[in-house]
Structure 1
Amino acid sequence: MALLQWPQPDESRPMILLFPTILLVILLNYAFTECYRKRKLPPGPPKLPLVGNLHQLGNLPHLSLHSLAKKYGPIISLQLGWVPTVVISSARMTKEVMRTYDLVLSSRPRLFAAKYIFYDSTDIVFSPYGAYWRQIRKICILELLSAKRVQSFRPVREEEVARMVDRIQESSCSGSVNLTKILGLYANDVLCRVAFGRDFSGGGDYDSLGFQDMLQEYQELVGGFSIGDFFPSLEEFIHRFTGMTRRLQDTSRRFDELFDRILSEHSNRVFDGSRKDDHKDLVDVLLEIQKEGSLAETPLTMDNVKAIIMDMFAAGTDTSFIALDWAMTELILNRKAMDRATNEVRSIVGERKFVLDTDLPHMPYLKAVIKEVFRLHPPAPVLVPRESTEEIAVEGYRIPAKTRFFINAWSIGRDPEAWENPEEFKPERFLDCPIDYKGQDYELIPFGTGRRICPAVTFGAATVELALTQLLHSFDWELPSGVKPEDLDMTEVFGITMHRVEELILVAKPRF
């Protein structure tokens, strides 16, 4: 996947139309650049006419930005097309900026893909800061993703973990297991049952509805650094010219049809008083709020409900799956850590076949493994961009309003000022260490920080912890015969979330 989606000519559009447009872009870009030339901005690389520093992002922007930070410092200034941009790449700088300017940096730029996929950016992730965003975040924190609600879904997690074990046992009879595929089904089933009240893997729905294709297309459309987003005045033209608009329309239509189906299934049952609160799924709760107006200062439209559902469906599936896949990859490559985590789990669970939620607080090393995975492989390597609403001052630099801010969480996890031997997978670093990933410790912010931190951190952690514990308790894991640790391809696919290019194929030896 090419992250910078440069124009590929549509033969139906005469190429001659490009020339006056390009001339206009050059002139406006020059005028825009001159406007900010005298400001004292953070250091950064030289810029090219028209594109600025876009050409330096490459196919893996988190790596490119990490390299630039090594050369120019933990806060750098870039010109991405017409968009003035600042990138933060260290824990110290993130702390300095976010502690002072969290409110000023709480808004989002309007991204073209989010307008289509998230119903005019009315979801939690991409909605600009304001009264509407505060309202839906309040709904998420108090109703959808509260600690009590997450705990109420414990039976779902336990049942889906049992199904995951059954799938692995069945696959292990053939000699090897495609663990990536099974983990993807587990994460999707947990999310769908919690959010929609049913899973889609049974009866062939997962394949017939094209869930995997839809999620992959979502990743590419929303996660890439699309060139049109950096030329706002020309974004409609650029995205039509590249075919991006057509893809967005098709993908948004497919998701909309799925959500219409889900909402139709719920609309006849949610208000008849027959369902106990503990058994309501997240769509039930949203529809009640939408109908009754509780917690909603401004009434939610059905499109607003769908936008929030889209957040849950896409982000909820991806984050858990990616964390589990990277965790098993790192453990299979680091036998000492695998053995220590496995011994801890089995000493707590004993001869019981299944792990319980109540076992998890007694497993400090397992929790350290998960933290180390989030440090090295944050689900979103470059956090969703922010946009400043007024001028800010950082270490003597003056950064104007309407600047786009990127925080490179991947780079922060490798910050030598914050971590000893940062490239090494070493869960022991988190034992007797208070650092956590809940947004208060700037050395580890895989889910963001401040007002814009992901509200589903508790839900995601519960989904990952139980599954990883069960994987280590139920099976002994090995690489397939003839495969060495160095043979594993650790190449990453960059998107709004980041997974490995290759699927993880392992040998699972059942214990029960």
Structure 2
Amino acid sequence: MLHFLFLLLLPTLLFFLHKSLSAAGGGGHLPPGPNLCRILTLKHQIEQNPRKLFTNLAKLYGPIFSFRAGVHLIVVASSAAAAKEIFSTQNLRFAARYLPAVNHSILRTTKTRLPAAIVVAESNAVWKIVRGLGHRSIFSAASVEAAAGIRAAKAAELVEFLGTQIKEEKAVFIEEIIFATFANIISTVLTSRNLFLVDKNGENVRTVINRLIEMAEKYSRFGLGDMLPFLRRFDFSTKIRGRVVFENAKSIWGDFVMERKLAMATQVEGCSKTMTRDFLDILLHEDLFADDGAIEYFLSEMLMGSTDSVTTITIWLLVEMIKNEEILQKVRKEITDQAVEAGNTISEPGLAQCEYLQACIKEALRLHTPSPVVVPRLASKASIINGYTIPKNTIVLINLWAIHTDPGMWEDPLMFKPDRFLNSPIAFKGGAIDGAHFEYMPFGGGSRTCPGSEICRKGVQLMTACLVHYFDWRVPDGNDRAVLERGEDQFWTILKKDEPLRLIPSLRGDCNNAELD
């Protein structure tokens, strides 16, 4: 139906394309790429698996290619050299992010004065305020270190819960357990309380995971209103998607916000001076947010941005180690030697000294990059990259997966080989931060690089250490290889296993009284 409508309106579209190109100075030497008919045939692949499709198209058209999506010109960069131009040399011109029409629909359901939250905001004064709030309260080095006790406590709950499953010899959905544990870490930092009871809310955990996945899929998808803005008011499908995203956010955080507001009102009436000052308090006091809906939406983005990467990388790292016993044993020995203290407790500072574990985390981020296609950027000015004109208002995508698996940059790029990062000059955050190695950028780059990289590293190393130090793992029914090698499923900003991974834990050695430091 959408294809038919698109073709029906093609004459009008061509007029707007001509008008748009003239206004943007788009008559220059644009990057080559597939034509409109070819893009229509590839629509499903673009929506479901853009990283592989864009990688294949780059082999045909070059490391920078372009195509049209309605009135928009979309440029895809698939090389380290192009990424350096976008993330470093011309960073300010590509610092803004493109907001799909669904985001405007979401925010119109609230009375907020905030044009968009941290993940999707334009690079403007409001975005800087919001990002500053997140940095001071969550992402700064001091905030990350201050949350060490929270991480240790929640990881201890993880170990305790898995111990109960061992007694019953049950297979666990490992994604749900990791997600619930780290979601509780983030929730405690944000709101001073758990989002889940890990041992009692398995069904609720899966519900929240599905809601977040649905939110990511719906607010990142282009709709008719994106391709043909003059029809945005009639794009009812996008409006429905916006309502679903908004309602999902409210279902996750609505009770939290309501209870906190009631508590704050009670404390004010009683003239209490013992009010907690956590992130939710700050949001409720800031004048940026005019209603609860905007706060709930913002908290959902913070939760999604934090938990997705940690959960995805921890799962893939566990899978890669189970598949390779030599790597697994090497990691275990290093953890025992460097990070296990008296009483069989795991020290987070000790984990930071485990060079091979850190190399494994880097390699998992390279091969299984959680956001393999960077959230769309928007060119604020016309630019020249690799000799091609990039007109103003062009949507720019960076295919990190293509860069991370480029055989010209990496030996055996599709193999999990953590040794490549031993004694390597490549930093954990990648070349987008240290200014040298743009073949590795797991957290994006430029002024819009992911602010939660250190939270991700801390979370992955602690979750992984707990899972492999205290437990052995096997696949139900003994079908290890077939289950472990099942592929990846991707939406625009999430890369995960195509089926939830089920594993049976068993206790390793004398870990019955294990605690976490």
Contact 1:371/1:430, CA 8 A, preserved across alignment: yes
Q: TM (normalized to structure 1)?
A: 0.86
Compared CA separation, residues 204 and 361, structure 1 to 2 (3 A): closer
1-structure distance, mates of 2:73, 2:54: 15
CA drift at 1:79: 1.5
1:375 aligns with 2:366: yes
Partner residue in 1 for 2:515: none
1:510 aligns with 2:504: no
CA drift at 1:168: 1.8
Equivalent position amino acid for 2:244 in 1: D
Partner residue in 2 for 1:142: 136
1:328 aligns with 2:318: yes
Q: TM (normalized to structure 2)?
A: 0.85
Note the 1:316-395 alignment, pairs <5 A: 316-348=306-338, 349=340, 352-395=343-386
Q: 2:64 aligns with which of 64, 67, 75?
A: 75
Partner residue in 2 for 1:214: 211
CA drift at 1:422: 0.8
Equivalent position amino acid for 1:186 in 2: T
CA drift at 1:93: 1.8
Root-mean-square deviation (CA, aligned residues, Å) is: 2.9
Partner residue in 2 for 1:430: 421
Compared CA separation, residues 504 and 208, structure 1 to 2 (3 A): closer
Partner residue in 1 for 2:514: none
Aligned to 2:389, the other structure's residue is in SS state: strand
Aligned to 1:508, the other structure's residue is in SS state: strand
Equivalent position amino acid for 1:479 in 2: V
Equivalent position amino acid for 2:385 in 1: V
Once the two structures are superposed, residues 157-202 of structure 1 have per-residue CA deviations (whole angstroms, 9 ceiling, x without a partner) of: 1111111112222223325332222112212222222212111322
Q: 1:494 aligns with which of 479, 490, 493?
A: 490
Contact 1:178/1:506, CA 8 A, preserved across alignment: yes
2-structure distance, mates of 1:116, 1:224: 13
Note the 1:60-139 alignment, pairs <5 A: 60-117=49-106, 121-139=115-133
Where does the alignment leave 5 or more consecutive residues of structure 2 unmatched? 512-517
Identity over aligned pairs, percent: 27
2-structure distance, mates of 1:389, 1:452: 14
Q: 1:180 aligns with which of 154, 175, 196?
A: 175
CA drift at 1:425: 0.2
Aligned to 2:57, the other structure's residue is in SS state: helix
Q: 2:305 aligns with which of 301, 315, 320?
A: 315
Q: 2:457 aligns with which of 450, 455, 461?
A: 461
Compared CA separation, residues 50 and 326, structure 1 to 2 (3 A): closer
Q: 1:287 aligns with which of 284, 288, 296?
A: 284
Partner residue in 2 for 1:296: none
Aligned to 2:67, the other structure's residue is in SS state: strand
Partner residue in 1 for 2:192: 197
Q: 1:46 aligns with which of 35, 46, 63?
A: 35
CA drift at 1:309: 1.7
CA drift at 1:103: 0.6
Partner residue in 2 for 1:231: 228
Compared CA separation, residues 333 and 30, structure 1 to 2 (3 A): farther
1:259 aligns with 2:248: no
1-structure distance, mates of 2:157, 2:170: 19
CA drift at 1:307: 4.3
Partner residue in 2 for 1:24: 12
Equivalent position amino acid for 1:217 in 2: E
Q: Structure 1 stretch 184-193 or stretch 379-388: which is displaced more?
A: 184-193
Q: Structure 1 stretch 431-440 or stretch 98-107: which is displaced more?
A: 431-440
Aligned to 2:97, the other structure's residue is in SS state: coil
CA drift at 1:207: 4.4
Partner residue in 1 for 2:273: 273
**Structure ranking higher in helix proportion:** 2
Aligned to 2:216, the other structure's residue is in SS state: helix
Contact 1:62/1:411, CA 8 A, preserved across alignment: yes
Equivalent position amino acid for 1:432 in 2: N
Contact 2:371/2:494, CA 8 A, preserved across alignment: yes
Note the 1:297-312 alignment, pairs <5 A: 299-302=288-291, 305-312=295-302
Q: Structure 1 stretch 326-335 or stretch 44-53: which is displaced more?
A: 44-53
Contact 1:83/1:230, CA 8 A, preserved across alignment: yes
Compared CA separation, residues 135 and 453, structure 1 to 2 (3 A): same
Compared CA separation, residues 328 and 29, structure 1 to 2 (3 A): same
Partner residue in 2 for 1:11: none
Where does the alignment leave 5 or more consecutive residues of structure 1 unmatched? 1-5, 9-14, 292-298
Partner residue in 2 for 1:398: 389
2-structure distance, mates of 1:237, 1:50: 23
